[in-house]
Chains A and B, each alone.
Chain A
Amino acid sequence: MADVEVTKSLSGLLNGIAQMVYYNKREITEELLKNELYPEMPLEEFKALYEKMKGLVKSIATADMDHAQLEAFLTAQTKRQGGIGLSTEQAAALSRFWKSQRVRVRGSLLAQSRWEPSLRGLSWRVDLQTGDSYGNTVHRGPVALMELELGRDGQDSEFVCLEFDETKVNQVLKKMADIQESIDRIVCRT
Chain B
Amino acid sequence: MSKNLKDVDQELFRKLLKAVVSGLEGKDCREVMKSIAESSVIPQERLSHIIAGMHRVLSEAIRIPTSLLKQETFKEDLRELRIPEDFIIDFSSVVFGNRRAALEAASSQNDPHLPTLEEFKWRVDVSISTSSLARALQPSVLMQLKLSDGSFQRFEVPVLKFQELRYNVALILKEMNDLEKKSILKIQD
Contacts and interface: CB of A to CB of B under 8 A. Distances in A.
Given A126-B175, A136-B65, A183-B141, A172 B134 contact: no
Given A109-B133, A110-B136, A150-B153, 10 more contacts: A62-B132, A117-B155, A119-B157, A124-B168, A132-B112, A134-B108, A161-B114, A163-B116, A166-B176, A173-B169
Contacts of B116: 162-165, 168
Interface stretch (A6-14, A30-38, A87-95, A140-148): A140-148
Nearest to A190: B137
Interface centre among A129, A148, A169 (most CB of B within 10 A): A169
A122 B132 contact: no
For chain B, what secondary structure do more than half of its interface residues adopt (helix, strand, loop), or is it mixed?
A: mixed
Task: Give the size category of A's interface with B.
Answer: 35 or more
B153 A187 contact: no
B62 interface: yes
Contacts of A113: 127, 130-133, 136
A134 B63 contact: yes
A118 B173 contact: no
Contacts of A172: 117, 120, 169
B91 to A, nearest CB: 17
Nearest to B122: A179
Interface stretch (B33-41, B44-52, B79-87, B180-188): B180-188
A153 to B, nearest CB: 11
Interface string A171-190: 11101100110110011001
Interface in B143-182: 143, 145, 147, 153-159, 161-162, 164-166, 168-170, 172-173, 175-177, 179-180
A166 to B, nearest CB: 5
B180 A141 contact: yes
Contacts of B172: 124, 126, 144, 146, 164, 169
A33 B129 CA distance: 32
B25 interface: no
A122 B127 contact: no
Nearest to A137: B108
User: Taking each of A64, A106, A133, A172, which has the highest tally of chain B beta carbons within 10 Å of its own beta carbon?
Assistant: A172
Contacts of A136: 63-65, 104
Contacts of A124: 168, 172
A38 B2 CA distance: 97
A112 interface: yes
B148 to A, nearest CB: 9
B138 interface: yes
Nearest to B135: A64
B122 A175 contact: yes
A162 B117 contact: yes
A44 interface: no
Given A64-B134, A122-B168, A136-B65, A110 B141 contact: no
A36 B185 CA distance: 67
Interface string A146-163: 101010000000001111
A155 to B, nearest CB: 13
B11 interface: no
